[in-house]
Amino acid sequence: MCTSLTTCEWKKVFYEKMEVAKPADSWELIIDPNLKPNELAPGWKQYLEQHASGRFHCTWCWHTWQSANVVILFHMYLDRAQRAGSVRMRVFKQLCYECGTARLDESSMLEENIENLVDNLITSLREQCYDEDGGQYRIHVASRPDSGPHRSEFCEACQEGIVHWKPSEKLLEEEATFSGASKSRAREGSGYNFFSLRWCLFWASLCLLIVYLQFSFRRSTFL
C-alpha cells in the first residue's frame, strides 16, 4: 500500500524495471523508515545512494528547499530457491532550518530522478545478488546542483553517522578563485580610478568651468 505519491512512483518504476531485468523472479519493494546502515541480516546486501536529488517540504511552516545530497539506503535479499527477492528502502530526511521543527519530512523526487535511481539500484542488485556485471551506474542523478553547502546538522543521514558529503576539490578551487577575485576587486576599489563615474563628473565640471571663465574673460575684454 502506498503512503505517498512518491512511494507509489518508486514502487511503480521498480516493478516495471525488474519485470524487464529479471522476469523469472518475483521482487518486492518495502519502505522501511527504521533501516540502519551496515546492520544486515545474514544473506542481505546493502546499496547506499548518497547524492540523490529531492525537494523537501516542511508541513509546519510550509518552507520548501532543494537538496542534491539526499541519502537513500537499500537492503537487498534474494532467495534463489524460491526465486523471490526483497528490497527494503529508507529515504533519509532533513530538518527544516527555517522553523527548526523536530519533524523530519521526507523528500519528493522528480520522476526522471526516480528512474535513474532505480537503474542504479538494479545495477547493484545484479552485481551483489546475481553475481552479474550490472552495467554502468548513473552517477549524476541530481537534477541540479545545490545552491549552497550541505548543512549536516539538519540531515538525518549525517546524524546516523553516514559521511556522504564533503566539498569537492573543484568546489574548493572555485571558492578560492572567487575569493581571490573579490579581494582583487576590493583592492582596486580602494585605489584611485580616474575613469570612475565620480571622476568623470569632476572632469566634466572642470571643463565647463574653464569654458565659462574663458567666455566671461573674452566678454569683459570686448566690453
Higher pLDDT, 147 or 175: 147
Domain positions in the chain: 5-165
Q: Which long-range contacts (CB under 8 A, 24 or more apart) does 17-23 make?
A: 17/115, 17/118, 17/119, 17/122, 18/122, 21/122, 21/126, 22/85, 22/130
Give me 46's grid cell.
546493502
Query: Which residue reads 579581494 in cell numbers?
Result: 183
- What is the bridge-based pairing of β-strands 45-57 and 107-108? antiparallel
139: amino acid identity, one letter: I
Between the alpha carbon of residue 61 and those of residues 46, 95, 177, 187, 206, the distances in Å are 35, 12, 37, 43, 59
Task: Name every residue whose Cβ is closer than 8 Å to that of residue 81 and which is 6 or more positions away in sequence.
Answer: none
Region of poorest pLDDT, from 24-33, 91-100, 102-111, 205-214? 102-111
pTM: 0.68
Per-residue pLDDT band at 198 (split at 50, 70, 90): low
State how beta strands 94-95 and 45-57 pair: unpaired
Higher pLDDT pick, 65 / 122: 122
Point out the least confidently predicted range of 3-7, 32-36, 110-114: 3-7
Give the integer Cα–Cα distance in Å for 12 and 39: 27
Contact assessment for residue 17 and residue 77, using Cβ atoms and an 8 Å cutoff: no
Residue with more model confidence, 16 or 134 = 16
> Which comes out higher in pLDDT, residue 30 or 7?
30
